[in-house]
Amino acid sequence: MSKKKYIEFIILAVVFFGTVFYWYSLRPSIIKKDCHKEAKEKIIEKLKQDNTEGGGYFSIEAMEKRNRVENYFFEDDFNTYYRWCLQKKGL
């Protein structure tokens, strides 16, 4: 193999493995991080909206009806938004 072909092969291999690493490792972790942030923002927005509509989630009765997680996140709602975001972005 000539030196030029060898260099082209090395460059092609680096581009190929770089693309595979991005697609299967970096891309999913970036999407998961973005979806977690997006779901958190949607839950906070929902809590603020529900709280201004009269009692909302911050009343004792409403807290007893739902599973409360730290930072006033509700697990079911958060998981719904998170999974929806993952599906929307292709994971």
Residue 69: pLDDT band (50, 70, 90) is very low
Q: What is the pLDDT of residues 23-63, one digit of tens each?
A: 999 999 999 999 999 988 888 787 777 666 555 555 545 55
- Mean pLDDT of the region 63-78: 58
Q: Is the pLDDT of residue 85 over 90?
A: yes
Q: Say how far apart CA 79 and CA 85 lie, in whole Å.
A: 10
Distance CA(45)–CA(86), nearest Å, equals 19
What mean pLDDT comes out for the span 9-26? 95
How many domains are contained in the chain? 1
- In the block, which residue shows the tokens 């082209």? 8
> DSSP string of 16-57?
HHHHHHIIIIIHHHHHHHHHHHHHHHHHHHHHHHHHHTTSGG
Q: Containing domain of residue 65, as a range?
A: 28-88
On whether residue 59 sits in a domain, the answer given is yes
User: Closest Cα partner for 39 from 73, 4, 13?
Assistant: 73
> Is the full-model pTM beyond 0.85?
no
Is the model more confident about 1 or about 6?
6
Cα separation, 26 vs 21, whole angstroms: 7
Whether residue 9 is contained in a domain is answered as no
